[in-house]
Structure 1
Amino acid sequence: MHPEDENDIISKTQLKQESEALQKLGARLVSLSPSQLKNIPLSDNLSDAIKLAHKISNKHEALRRQLQYIGKLMRSEDPEPIEAALDVLTNKHQAATHAFHQLELLRDELISEGDEAISRLMEQQPSFERQKLRQLVRQANKEAAGNKPPKSSRELFKYLREIMVDKQG
């Protein structure tokens, strides 16, 4: 046996691990919604197999076989662009969650600190209407004091999101 041939030989264990990794990647693809799948570069065969897996998701054994088939199709695909697209989707989700939490914190700060916080926000973001912010904060505090549902707090959050998302988008 030549020394070059030894490098070309891949063990059965390694083949099995690679196959399982591709099958897991296929399962991640199946877990995505159709709108998320549009952003991922897939061959027609793989795309069709994933659509079929969505249809048979309530039949355990059939889904298992379909996932194996998707794993088999994945062997003829380049997994790197697919993994990169999945990472982008994951990061977008994490970024959206972070932005959501930041808006919640800003809303809570406005409600607890009142005019002081509104002035700071107006300095950073002059596109807000001071009067509307003050009105929503005042209403939110009244609702909280009266043990009423936080309708104004929700409206304040929506207003913050509207202006902040328009600024970014």
Structure 2
Amino acid sequence: MLGISACLGGIFCRYNGGTQTVNQFLTWVNEGKALLICPEVLGGLPTPRTPAEIQNGDGFDVWQNTATVLTQDGVDVTENYKHGAMKAYEAMKELGITSVILKERSPSCGSQMIYDGSFSGIKQAGVGVATAYFIQQGLKVYSEENWQEMEDL
């Protein structure tokens, strides 16, 4: 079984209330081969919600308490992001999930690129808060852009 970002599996939970469904992932969900997770929603954030970006680093820096997650209007949602990551991990751990496919560029789920914190659309190398936590817990992380590289399909 896989963990998959809920927005990639057809759930309307993105910050803007949208989804970015990948048909193959939806098939796996319907076949009972995947658990959909949205760390941001699990962390108590609503849908839709004000856009948020990591300030001064990436997800690993957030866990080191040297970076924060702020909304576009300056609200600190760092603890929501951390709490959601931990809840998502616990749900996956109970099911023995060891690989996840997460939404690239998300402040929670990005695995290669995230936005730079300026809310200007500029991307930088880095990982999201949940991705950093999942990696620290030993999960294999992929995105909708590189999931075909998974060995355990």
- Give TM class, smaller chain: under 0.3
For normalisation by structure 1, the TM-score amounts to 0.20
Query: For the pair shown, which has the larger CA radius of gyration, 1 or 2?
Result: 1
Please state which structure has a larger fraction of its residues in helix.
Answer: 1
For normalisation by structure 2, the TM-score amounts to 0.22
Please state which structure has a larger fraction of its residues in strand.
Answer: 2
